[in-house]
Structure 1
């Protein structure tokens, strides 16, 4: 059941977050970027606070320690607030494909922060191989042009990269805080923090509500990033982080470019090349390598006697 739950959380987070790149690119035609993010968090906060109020006891809702506060701030400031603010600002000038691959560097950055912050959370050799294979697959899917990647819009790609840095650092800090709050309750407290942060940044940067162009497409984009890629996605994503830790949990950002590409085909009329299909297969191989490690560990935990006998036979 543990493996099935993790797989369900992984798939849900990948699908819901993957659509963010398409919806964000569409919505930026109607909203100033930071105000777009702030309104997204307003909607997600209302939805998730209503959900936890209806499903959790008062005791479960109340932060009771410094660790709880640190977990909330790490989530609200870094993983949700700054990561999305940098992403949406950068996507004004960067295509969804390039933004997706830059943001998919998150799983590579996470072990770096984990080595510094966490004493017992390390990536194994097999995990490193699987991660690198997956990253190659991401590159094949998005197919970035090296000339453009280092071209005149390098500054904005750097802004998207800062979002990946903020997200990776925040997930490691959440693990370090080891809060007693459930991931859903912690996220419900964190979203108002993210909303205040981005509303403040929007105001300071001179963005105004009058600049919004309200159309049906704008409402759909805002609704998606607020409810589906917001409240629902965060329940799945942070639940996954609590289950498997930041190093393996952030592998969802390898699947996100796949979802973003398929979303572009279905909604924006984009095409899939043969190289993209090869990239999908490569990412699947990377996931298979990583999954084999998790499955082997779970089998060893559940059936230690059988594993010991098999090991002894191999030695003989």
Structure 2
């Protein structure tokens, strides 16, 4: 079983910042693009950046004929599907039918889904009562933060189906992280680049089919937003995600989903002068307690090492 280090906690915080900021970026990009087009453009740009980066640094995927070559390529394609293309498509469709906060709740359920799947699939990732209690407390914190409005009915015919689809998207992210963990040893940069290339091949045709090509170029702000989405919460985040799941495991990585709504609210307050909800303090307290309980052993070892030094 792997034990998270200070670097792992730092990477987790950076990923939370990137993903939290992406909500604001998507809201700006929606002024000029459809949701699937945003997903396609950011994934394609992220793939291009990572391919150039991998090539420039001399990193490459193993040949299919190499030992574990087929397994590595299959894992990269599966990660591209489950961590990018499929959940982006599912959420893009489902959010038209559910209350705006429900997607956030479904993403907050991802640590619980990951814990259950990893128990059966990943060596050393076992369900313990402490971990389960911690993750449930963290989930409660997100529910307090988002509030009961997430469960209000929209009255649309496909609402119940869309709610299941949102939960399926959360399960996809869990599967993607487990696939990356189980993949045979491979260069992280090449693996991340291949995963995004695979996701591009999957999502671009769907976006073109559903939303077509814009007849005119949108204004500068939505275009800039898509570019930033492609760089930070897609390209850089993909590399960091692969690094973190290989170092600390999928259950630890899944804790990033508890940070995302907090970062989104803080950035909205600082940059857009949005009001912070009155439930924020209680939500933060529950989330921090949940993370501390679920990672109590790792935190104890971390502080013990700092004391020794």
Scaled to the shorter chain, the TM-score interval is 0.7 to 0.9
- Residue 241 of structure 1 is matched in structure 2 by 245
Match of 1:62 in 2: 62
| 8 Å CA contact retained: 1:28, 1:92 | no
Larger CA deviation: 27-36 vs 132-141: 27-36
Tell me which residue corresponds to 1:159: 165
d(CA) in 2 for partners of 1:297, 1:46: 39
Counterpart residue number, 1:311: none
Correspondences of 1:162-311 after superposition (within 5 Å): 162-176=168-182, 178-205=183-210, 207-210=211-214, 214-296=218-300
TM-score, length-scaled by structure 2:
0.86
1:209–1:8 CA distance, 2 compared to 1 (3 A) = same
| 1:4-43 equivalent positions in 2, closer than 5 A | 4-43=6-45
Structure-2 separation of matches of 1:154 and 1:217? 35
Change (3 A) 1:13 1:163: same
Question: Which has the larger displacement, 91-100 or 43-52?
Answer: 91-100
Deviation at 1:144, TM superposition (A): 3.4
Match of 1:210, SS? coil
Asked if the contact 1:97/1:261 (under 8 Å) is kept, the reply is: no
Unaligned runs of 5+ in 1: 307-316
Runs of 4 or more above 4 Å deviation = 92-96, 297-300
> In 2, are the aligned partners of 1:18 and 1:255 still within 8 Å (CA)?
yes
Local SS of the residue matching 1:196: helix
Q: 1:295 to 1:210 in 2, by over 3 A?
A: closer
Q: In structure 2, the residue corresponding to 1:121 is in which secondary structure?
A: coil
- The residue number in structure 2 matching 1:51 is 53
Alignment root-mean-square deviation, CA: 2.7
Provide the rounded CA distance (Å) in 1 between the counterparts of 2:8 and 2:142.
22
Greater share of helix residues, 1 or 2?
Answer: 1
The offset of 1:5, in angstroms, is: 1.0
The answer as to whether partners of 2:101 and 2:150 remain within 8 angstroms in 1 is no
Of 209-218 and 150-159, deviating more is 150-159
Change (3 A) 1:132 1:235: same
Partners of 1:68 and 1:221 in 2: CA distance: 33
Post-superposition shift, 1:66? 2.1
Gaps of 5+ in 2: none
